[in-house]
Structure 1
Amino acid sequence: MKIIPLQQRGIAASRVIMGCMPFGGGWNRDPLLAEDVLKAEKALDAAMSIGISMIDHANIYTMGKAEEAFGRILKNRPELREQLVIQTKCGIRFGEGDVPGRFDFSQEHILESVDASLSRLSVDYLDVLLLHRPDPLMEPEEVAEAFGKLKASGKVRYFGVSNMSAAQIRFLQSALPEPLVVNQLEMSLAKLDWLDQGVHVNQQAGVNVNFSEGLMEYCQMEKVQIQAWAPLAQGRFTGRGVEGEPANIQATAAMVQRMAAEKGTTPEAIVLGWLMRHPAGIQPVIGSSNVERILATKDAERQAQLMTREEWYSLYVSSRGVNMP
């Protein structure tokens, strides 16, 4: 069993993470409904039944209701807190009146966001706090001061980022006394620039690849846990239907279905196993509240261990739609 970077740091993280973006109902200011809390609880129970212990939130998910729904579960079942690794994010602010939507890494906003998340989640501390999207006005020393206060008060144990380049992580890390432990990125069989960037070195094809050069290597060298959001690509390869999709996506969906049938597993396990086969020790974040879909990921880690180099490349080449150089 592969020991991933978070586990190397002593964080009891599961290989697969349950993402809570769908929790809490609609993206609006309507009150949280009891039925939404029940749906979230069923999803959590399903996840825990297959060994998922790490939970991913963000303060903006369903306008705060995702955290609130989870908090109501923990209020009723406080014993669950110590069984879970809870991660949330801050830094995205919605538009308000004449003020546009923006990113905010100011000390004031970070501290206020954490206090609000702790209250909604009904917990005393966060295991991991991520900065959600790069803020062009980020001042590393100011972020470091906020992180220091949160660490000293016991409100946050570890810190990380989301959607950042290697240069941005190094810039922020330059002011921090402790290492950033996570970088969360969009990665899937349908989002391949994280692979293509390396494959296309010294090729004209690489001109059109938009991914931070050296990011994968940097994270692996510095033991920064790479987490993949949208790893199932909205179900493109696992039964959503591929009518109207490009030929490469249709062919890859058929290959996934065929491999799952041959191995006696689920398409979800194949798709996630493909990501987890990468030596970076990627943690997929499954953003679903559908119990059946959550349970379908149970075999992902085993499929990652069983997947051959040839099988991995077959899926990669099929999905990119272009033969390797």
Structure 2
Amino acid sequence: MKKIALGKTGLLVPNIAVGCMRIHDIEKALAERFLENALARGANFFDHADIYGGGVCEERFADAIHMTASLREKIIIQSKCGIRPGIDYNSTKDYIVTSVDNSLKRLKTDYLDILLIHRPDPLMEPEEVAEAFEILHNSGKVRYFGVSNFNPMQIQLLQKYVKQPLHINQLQFSITNANMISQGLHVNMSDEDAVNRDGSVLDFCRLNDMTIQPWSPFQHGFFNGVFLGNEKFPELNAAIDKIAEKYGVSSTTIALAWILRHPAHMQPIVGTMNTSRFNDCVKASELYLDRSEWFGIYKAAGNTLP
């Protein structure tokens, strides 16, 4: 599998990450086979969050992968914290530190490779986050840090206080959720696509060597379902299927290759627990779409060029 640099960490990681949000939905035996297959294909980067399955996903992962000290050094584990479903967002020092301690117990490990703040907290005290990061980093419990769903000003505010570089920003991005690209194409225009809703976060991350990790790469809207094979997107699926036939791969492979074609060197989070579909995702790692194919898919999704 193709490797990319992860922020400024110095780590070379697979350009596709394994999202573990749904691992609690499958039986242990299936989870074991899925993870064995992922590792065999070079996919050793695993994305978690303290809220996935109420913590069960981290436990299930550790059990299914048969966590040992020797295995731990061969894999990269990323987790996120800060969301309390139905309650609030919490970025206090005590919450962050306690969340990491609980994740470590569930994952049966002494450290996280990466910790992300899951969503911006409107009551965030950046000084508290800085204290938490310092405790976790100095204790060896977390090696690297980043954020998720943050805009450039929120990143800069947090980075002003934390000593550790913020290496990652996990953002929603797919063919049908391509606002990061559309607003950059419609500069100085008066149409809807010209509205800058995220502060040019794509360009900001590239300028600051932050790796963008697209989440829900096959979803349209906010968890409104996948666009592949969806009758709501006939033109898009026809365009994807035509290119898939050309390369002898699945539509899944093409949809992911579209993201990987962007020069920002993104690392999409793939959440499937289906081994066959995951293998289709892996094929996208090395597939390079040409300009006409990339723009053809972009326009078929209803995106316009000014």
Q: TM-score range by the shorter chain?
A: over 0.9
Instruction: Report if aligned partners of 1:75, 1:122 keep a CA contact under 8 Å in 2.
Output: no
What one-letter code is carried by the residue in structure 2 that aligns with 1:13? V
Q: Trace 1:40-189 onto structure 2 (pairs within 5 A).
A: 40-75=31-66, 78-95=69-86, 101-189=87-175
Equivalences for residues 1-325 of structure 1 within 5 A:
4-6=4-6, 9-25=9-25, 36-75=27-66, 78-95=69-86, 101-206=87-192, 209=195, 211-233=197-219, 234-237=225-228, 241-243=229-231, 245=232, 249-303=233-287, 306-319=288-301, 321-325=302-306
Q: Is the 8 A contact 1:181 1:224 kept in 2?
A: yes
* Structure 2 CA distance for partners of 1:293 and 1:322, relative to 1, 3 Å: closer
- 2:207 partner amino acid: M
Q: Structure 1: give runs of 5+ residues left out of the alignment.
A: 26-34, 96-100
Q: Which moved more, 1:268-277 or 1:104-113?
A: 268-277
After superposition, the C-alpha distances for 1:80-138 in whole angstroms (9 at most, x for unaligned) are 2111110000000134xxxxx11000000000000000000001100000000110011
TM-score relative to the length of structure 2: 0.93
- In 1, Cα distance between equivalents of 2:65 and 2:276: 23
| Structure 1 residue 5: Cα displacement | 3.9
**Is residue 7–residue 13 contact of structure 1 (8 Å, CA) maintained in 2?**
no
Does the 8 A contact of 1:19 with 1:288 survive in 2?
yes
Q: Which residue of 2 aligns with 1:32?
A: none
In structure 2, C-alpha distance between the alignment counterparts of 1:207 and 1:198, rounded to whole Å: 9
Letter in 1 for 2:150: M
Shift, 1:77, TM fit: 5.0
Percent of pairs identical after alignment?
40
Measured in 1, the distance between the counterparts of 2:106 and 2:47 equals 14
Q: Does structure 2 conserve the Cα–Cα contact (< 8 Å) formed by 1:228 and 1:284?
A: yes
Deviation (angstroms), 1:209: 4.2
| Equivalent residue letter for 2:187 | V
CA contact (8 A) 1:269 1:300 kept: yes
